[in-house]
RNA sequence: UCCCCGAUAGCUCAAUGGUAGAGCAUGCGACUGUUAAUCGCAGGGUUGUAGGUUCGAGCCCUACUCGGGGAGCCA
């Protein structure tokens, strides 16, 4: 028996004979040689089978294996400069678990419809392997960052009795007798309650938007991180967002080099993600757009996707745009004491066209002002009675933001579409597999 | 909800209104260093659905279905 070694650890076993358990990713043959691209979930390695080393029976059997056949291989680990990972394995034997024919996803090009319909199998391909391992790394980095910063994870509920902001379209579900529940579109309001109990908190989980958005930036189900910090001002929130993004990018650069290389990501662009990030007021951002595309953006309106592109293209780092007109923002955002027309809010726009990855604000903490806002937005006050209690019992300044995980991963990976940043993306016209 | 585009072999695509094609994949064969290997041979089709125009429709027209991109909205 040889030790079972994961492909990602092969470098530590150069010269010894090991066992690998996995799947055949690809194969090419030349005479008495088979070159197997072998994967085990932790990585990919080339395994070379010489007819003279393994005997004719096993050699011929391996030669007939189709893509994604499952097998166990025994072989000698050799460092080899010709190999992409620095090592390859000379096979001395093995066992075939299943011979596969007709695996649908070949190493050639495919269209998005076909790939998404085969998402359960597409996950095995190199690129998806790299993206989802980076997603895992990002999620872990987020939790590590908050542990380091003294935050407590208090998750918000997924079933909610009503809209959080009263704007987005919600998914409705039956909730026992005659009652309706809605899938959450944001954990923020609950996070505010949690922050009053624990000081610094975050929630991190799935959220749902029933809007009929069909773009490369939208999913109907996505993961959102929402920190909420008692006694925080808008400046604190912006500083916190900058710290978080720098921590996450640095971590991915430390631990996911192979995956970034697989995606052919320009790591210089990620290495440039260091403090400080540019901070731009809404008015400055408007002026910037006016300079590059006169007349495109009307002052007072929210920024559209083309506007965001112009802004983010001016910088190599995420851009923080703050203090939007309050009319285009949510009811719970505090007004700027220096300019009542503005809200104390911030959007963080990622570089390279992915758009907004963070939206946050300082919250209105005054009971009467907040009740007025609810009335102005024509929202039912009853639905917010528990939320208003937070302003009745020990109200303090506070703030936080929401970070879209898939958009963040898409930006870090340098991929076009957020759907690849989710293992099983849910979109308007797609809920299979 | 609105705008644009698409649907032909397992996949990606081609085909002036006139016999439905290629590359890749698959199967068989050759080759001891491949990296999207190469070379030879072979199999593979109700052109998304329904109707219409026409001597004749993959192609033109109408409707529908499914999908893609974008707007709005947002992360």
CA of A36 to C1' of B26 (A): 18
How many degrees, rounded to 5, is the angle at CA A240 between CA A237 and CA A244? 140
Give me the residue spans of the domains in chain A: 7-98, 119-421
Percentage of chain A exceeding pLDDT 70: 99
CB neighbour class for A392 (10 Å; exposed up to 12, middle 13-18, buried from 19)? exposed
Nearest nucleotide by C1' position to the A403 CA atom: B75
pLDDT at residue A86 in the model = 84
Residue whose CA is minimally distant from B31 C1': A31
| Contacts made by residues A37-40, CB under 8 angstroms, sequence distance 24+ | A38/A7, A38/A73, A38/A89, A39/A7, A39/A124, A39/A129, A40/A6, A40/A7
- Could you read off the pLDDT of A296-350 as tens digits, one per residue? 898 999 998 889 999 999 999 999 999 999 999 999 999 999 999 999 999 999 9
CB neighbour class for A165 (10 Å; exposed up to 12, middle 13-18, buried from 19)? middle
Q: Say if residues A187 and A224 touch (Cβ distance below 8 Å).
A: yes
Task: From residues 135-194 of A, list those within 7 angstroms of strand B by Cβ.
Answer: 167-168, 186
- Could you read off the pLDDT of A21-59 as tens digits, one per residue? 999 999 988 888 999 999 999 999 999 999 989 988 899
CA gap A339, A36 in Å, rounded: 66
Residue A359 has pLDDT above 70, yes or no: yes
pLDDT at residue A312 in the model = 92
* A276 is near strand B: CB distance < 7 Å: no
- Chain B nucleotides with an atom closer than 7 Å to a protein C-beta: 1-2, 10-13, 23-28, 30-38, 66-75
3-state secondary structure chain A: CCCECCHHHHHHHCCCEEEEEEEEEEEEEECCEEEEEEECCCCEEEEEEEHHHHCHHHHHHHHCCCCCCEEEEEEEEEECCCCCCCEEEEEEEEEEEECCCCCCCCCCCCCHHHHHHCHHHHCCCHHHHHHHHHHHHHHHHHHHHHHHCCCEECCCCCEECCCCCCCCCCCEEEECCCEEEEECCCCHHHHHHHHHHHCEEEEEEEEECCCCCCCCCCCCEEEEEEEEEECCCHHHHHHHHHHHHHHHHHHHHHHCHHHHHHCCCCHHHHHCCCCCCCEEEHHHHHHHHHHHCCCCCCECECCCHHHHHHHHHCCCCCEEEECCEHHHCCCCECEECCEEEEECEEEEEECCCCEEEEEEEEECCCHHHHHHHHHHCCCCHHHHHHHHHHHHCCCCCEEEEEEEHHHHHHHHHCCCCHHHHCCCCEECCECCC
Nearest nucleotide by C1' position to the A357 CA atom: B75
pLDDT at residue A214 in the model = 87
| CA A65 distance to own-chain centroid | 36
Task: From residues 98-127 of A, list those within 7 angstroms of strand B by Cβ.
Answer: 101-102, 104, 106-114, 116
Task: From residues 380-399 of A, list those within 7 angstroms of strand B by Cβ.
Answer: none
Lowest-confidence pick of A40-44, A100-104, A309-313, A414-418: A100-104
CA gap A245, A145 in Å, rounded: 10
If one compares A212 and A82, the residue with the highest pLDDT of the two is A212
Residue A102 has pLDDT above 90, yes or no: no
* A211 is near strand B: CB distance < 7 Å: yes
CA of A106 to C1' of B21 (A): 22
* A357 is near strand B: CB distance < 7 Å: yes
- What does the radius of gyration of chain A's CA atoms come to, in whole angstroms? 26
* A256 is near strand B: CB distance < 7 Å: no
CA gap A39, A41 in Å, rounded: 6
Q: What is the mean pLDDT of chain A?
A: 92
Longest dimension (CA), chain A: 85
* A42 is near strand B: CB distance < 7 Å: no
pLDDT at residue A81 in the model = 78
Name the band, by pLDDT with cuts 50, 70 and 90, for residue A168.
low
* A66 is near strand B: CB distance < 7 Å: yes
CA gap A223, A135 in Å, rounded: 11
CA of A209 to C1' of B42 (A): 52
Residue whose CA is minimally distant from B10 C1': A104
CA of A38 to C1' of B34 (A): 14
pLDDT at residue A165 in the model = 52
CA gap A119, A121 in Å, rounded: 5
The token pair at A143 is 């939790």
Nearest nucleotide by C1' position to the A306 CA atom: B71
pLDDT at residue A213 in the model = 86
- Could you read off the pLDDT of A209-255 as tens digits, one per residue? 988 888 899 999 999 999 999 999 999 999 999 999 999 999 999 99
Nearest nucleotide by C1' position to the A101 CA atom: B26
Q: What is the rounded average pLDDT of the residues A124-144? A: 96
Q: Say if residues A345 and A363 touch (Cβ distance below 8 Å).
A: no
Nearest nucleotide by C1' position to the A116 CA atom: B67
Residue A83 has pLDDT above 80, yes or no: no
Q: Kind of pairing, strands A319-322 and A200-208?
A: unpaired
Residue whose CA is minimally distant from B70 C1': A215
A119-421: in CATH 3.30.930.10: yes
Pick the CATH number of A7-98 from 2.40.50.140, 1.10.260.40, 3.30.479.10, 1.20.140.10: 2.40.50.140
- Could you read off the pLDDT of A66-81 as tens digits, one per residue? 899 999 999 999 998 7
Residue A283 has pLDDT above 70, yes or no: yes
Percentage of chain A exceeding pLDDT 90: 75
CA gap A240, A252 in Å, rounded: 19
Nearest nucleotide by C1' position to the A37 CA atom: B35
* A300 is near strand B: CB distance < 7 Å: no
| CA A29 distance to own-chain centroid | 38
* A359 is near strand B: CB distance < 7 Å: yes
* A16 is near strand B: CB distance < 7 Å: no
CA of A38 to C1' of B25 (A): 19
């Amino acid at each position: 028996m040889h030790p079972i070694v994961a492909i990602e650890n092969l470098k530590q076993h150069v010269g010894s004979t090991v066992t690998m358990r996995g799947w055949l990713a690809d194969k090419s043959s030349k005479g008495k040689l088979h070159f197997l691209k072998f994967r085990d979930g932790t990585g990919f390695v080339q395994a070379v089978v010489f007819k003279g080393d393994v005997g004719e029976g096993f050699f011929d059997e391996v030669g007939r294996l189709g893509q994604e056949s499952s097998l166990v291989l025994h072989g000698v680990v050799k460092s080899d400069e010709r190999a992409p990972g620095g090592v390859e394995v000379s096979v001395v034997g093995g066992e075939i678990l299943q011979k596969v024919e007709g695996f649908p996803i070949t190493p050639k090009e495919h269209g998005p419809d076909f790939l998404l319909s085969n998402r359960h199998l597409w996950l095995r391909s190199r690129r998806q392997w790299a993206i989802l391992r980076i997603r895992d790394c990002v999620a872990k980095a987020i939790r590590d960052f908050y542990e380091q910063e003294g935050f407590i994870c208090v998750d918000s509920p997924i079933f909610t009795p009503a809209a959080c902001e009263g704007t987005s379209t919600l998914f409705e579900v039956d909730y026992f007798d005659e009652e309706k529940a809605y899938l959450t579109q944001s954990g923020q309001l609950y996070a505010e309650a949690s922050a009053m109990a624990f000081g610094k908190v975050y929630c991190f989980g799935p959220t749902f938007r029933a809007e009929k958005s069909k773009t490369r930036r939208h999913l109907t189900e996505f993961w959102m991180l929402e920190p909420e910090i008692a006694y925080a001002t808008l400046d604190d929130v912006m500083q916190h967002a900058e710290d978080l993004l720098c921590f996450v990018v640095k971590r991915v650069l430390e631990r996911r080099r192979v995956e970034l290389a697989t995606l052919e990501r320009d790591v210089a662009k990620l290495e440039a993600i260091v403090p400080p990030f540019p901070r731009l007021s809404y008015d400055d951002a408007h002026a910037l757009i006016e300079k590059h595309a006169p007349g495109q953006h009307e002052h007072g309106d929210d920024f559209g996707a083309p506007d965001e592109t112009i802004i983010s293209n001016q910088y190599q780092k995420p851009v923080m745009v703050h203090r939007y007109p309050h009319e285009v923002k949510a009811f719970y955002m505090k007004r700027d004491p220096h300019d009542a027309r503005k809200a104390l809010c911030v959007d963080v726009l990622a570089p390279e066209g992915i758009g907004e990855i963070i939206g946050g604000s300082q919250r209105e903490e005054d009971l009467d002002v907040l009740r007025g806002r609810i009335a102005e937005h024509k929202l039912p006050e009853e639905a917010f009675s528990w939320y208003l209690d937070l302003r009745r019992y020990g109200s303090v300044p506070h703030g936080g933001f929401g970070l879209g995980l898939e958009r963040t991963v898409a930006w870090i990976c340098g991929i076009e579409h957020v759907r690849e940043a989710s293992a099983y993306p849910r979109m308007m016209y797609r809920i299979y597999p």
